[in-house]
Structure formats: C-alpha cells, structure tokens
Amino acid sequence: MEPALSTPFRPPPVCVMGWLSGNPRLGFRAAGSTVHQGLNAGKYLIGIGDTASVVRYAWLESLKAQQQSLDSPGASPATGSLPTIQGVAASGTYGSKKAAALAAETAAIGDTRSDIKNSGKHNEYGGWVLSKDGKYTYTLPVTFGQDGHFYPSNVTVPSGYGAVASFHTHPDSGSWGEGFSEGDVNWANQNRMNIYVGMSYSGNVRVYVPGVTKYNGFNGVTGDLIGNVP
Ligand SMILES: [Zn+2]
C-alpha cells in the first residue's frame, strides 16, 4: 500500500494506524509490539500534520523497538539462525573508499530495484567495502531476503582483503526510508567504520562517518550525500 505523500494528513489517527498496519516495511505485523508502537505513533500524530513524517516516525520507532535485529547491521549478537553468506570481491578496483562505496551502492540499488520490479519484494542488499594493497573494492551485493534488515557481519570478508566499511540499501517505496536509521548509526559508531546507504526510491547514496556526521534524530535525514544512482 502506497501512502500518498502529498495528501495532507487528516484525523483521526486511527485511520492512519489502519494503513500503517498494512505496510509490511513498518513491522506492524508483529502482534507483540503493535499496541505499544500504535500508542506512541498515535500520541505523536496529534502534534504534526504531514503523512511522510508519520510514516517515517513509525518506521524509525519500529526499528528502535527491534533494534537487536532490525536494520541494525552487525551489532546484533542474536544472529544464530541467520545464514552466513560468502562475500565475493567485485572485479573492479578503485582509488578511494568513497569511489568503491559508490560502485557498491550502484550495484546494490540496481539489485534492489530489480527485485521490486520483478517480484515486488523490497529486499535490503549490501556487503563490505574492502581494501587490499592500497586499492579499494567491495563484496558483490547480497541479501538476506528481508525488507528491513541487513547483517554485514554475516557476510564473510574474502581472503586477502580487509573490511573498511559496510554498505546496504533501503528498499522503501517512499521518502521515509531516506538516510540512516538509529541502528545504522549505532553500528558505525560501535565499529568505528564508515557506513554507506543507498535508497532505491531516491537513488541517493549517503555516508555516515563516526565522530563527523551529525545524527539528525527520528524526524530528520541523517547522512551526507555523496552521489545519486538515477
Ligand atoms: Zn539501514
């Protein structure tokens, strides 16, 4: 279900909660957390008037509620049932981490958009940015088949390479997925590594650099724009 982003929000909140619950990306299908998130979102709705903000708020709240696993790459210890996917280095090499990350996100956004087009699935793709002998490359993008999760630590680092950053996509069909989630930011801070994200909706590629990039909170967009994949 696609929210009409340009349509002004109209009360009552219960209607909005109705369509939020129809959006699988937002995680409202989990019965255990629906009430809690619904109440929070309902309270927040009173003070604001635009639909995109409501969706973004609900999305970020759902990420926070499930931070151990949801869009919280690598930081989670609770990954026992997840597969480990073998990382395969791309053939191209690049002179900078940023150039390799842009190439990685171009590939990953392409894969994400292909899934949406071919199967209607909104899968996050990602992997590692790699270094070797002063050059940079990346692991070919992979997916765990989940619309709100990516786990770089479950992608192996190819032999002979060092992992210097992680990258992933946000496959959301609207602007609420723009920028990094709180889980993404925590991962970068904990691992002291850049993290890159590419949005399939806008094509924007953003970086978060620990200690440098500002975190703009749940209603802002976090991440410095470094490119766009048309
Ligand atoms: Zn993310």
Q: Which two tokens stand for residue 96?
A: 């900078």
Distance 207 CA to ligand 1 centre (A): 11
- Please give all residues whose CB falls under 5 A of ion ligand 1, grouped by chain where several chains appear: 71, 181, 184
Note down the domain range covering 179: 97-228
The whole-number pLDDT of residue 61 equals 59
Residues 39 and 108 in one domain: no
Indicate whether 78 belongs to any domain. no
Share of the chain above pLDDT 90, in %: 63
Q: How far apart are CA 106 and CA 203, in angstroms?
A: 9
Region of 85 (left: φ > 0; alpha: ψ -120 to 50; beta: rest) is beta
Q: How far apart are CA 144 and CA 142, in angstroms?
A: 7
Strand 204-208 to 125-132 pairing: unpaired
Q: Which two tokens stand for residue 204?
A: 């924007």
Residues 36 and 108 in one domain: no
Distance 169 CA to ligand 1 centre (A): 7
Distance 73 CA to ligand 1 centre (A): 8
Mean pLDDT of 63-74: 47
Q: Which two tokens stand for residue 219?
A: 């209603």
Give residue-wise pLDDT tens across range 164-214: 999 999 999 999 999 999 999 999 999 999 999 999 999 999 999 999 999
> Which residue did the predictor score with more confidence, 17 or 102?
102
The whole-number pLDDT of residue 183 equals 93
CA atoms within 13 A on the CB side of 38: 18
Q: Where are the alpha helices (DSSP H) in 143-229?
A: 182-191
Mean pLDDT of 104-127: 98
pLDDT confidence bin for 81, thresholds 50/70/90: confident
**Peptide bond between residue 8 and the one before it cis (omega within 30 degrees of 0):** no
> Which residue did the predictor score with more confidence, 56 or 18?
56
Distance 166 CA to ligand 1 centre (A): 10
CATH number assigned to the domain comprising residue 127: 3.40.140
The whole-number pLDDT of residue 219 equals 86
Lowest-pLDDT range of 10-24, 86-100, 166-180:
10-24
Distance 159 CA to ligand 1 centre (A): 26
Lowest-pLDDT range of 74-88, 153-167, 173-187:
74-88
Strand 125-132 to 162-170 pairing: antiparallel
Residues 141 and 195 in one domain: yes
The whole-number pLDDT of residue 54 equals 61
Distance 126 CA to ligand 1 centre (A): 10
Please state the domain count of the chain.
2
With the CA atoms of 95, 96, 98 and 101 taken in that order, what torsion angle do they form, in degrees rounded to the nearest 10? 60
Residues 155 and 101 in one domain: yes
Residues 117 and 40 in one domain: no
The distance in angstroms from the start CA to the end CA of the chain is 24
Mean pLDDT of 122-147: 97
Residues 223 and 111 in one domain: yes
Lowest-pLDDT range of 53-57, 74-78, 113-117:
74-78
What is the rounded average pLDDT for all residues in the chain?
78
> Which residue did the predictor score with more confidence, 3 or 104?
104
Distance 171 CA to ligand 1 centre (A): 10
pLDDT at 83 exceeding the cut of 70: yes
Q: How far apart are CA 124 and CA 147, in angstroms?
A: 6
Mean pLDDT of 102-109: 98
Residues forming beta bridges with residue 138, ordered by sequence position: 129
Q: Which two tokens stand for residue 156?
A: 């192996």
Greatest Cα-to-Cα distance within the chain, rounded to the nearest angstrom: 59
Residues 113 and 158 in one domain: yes
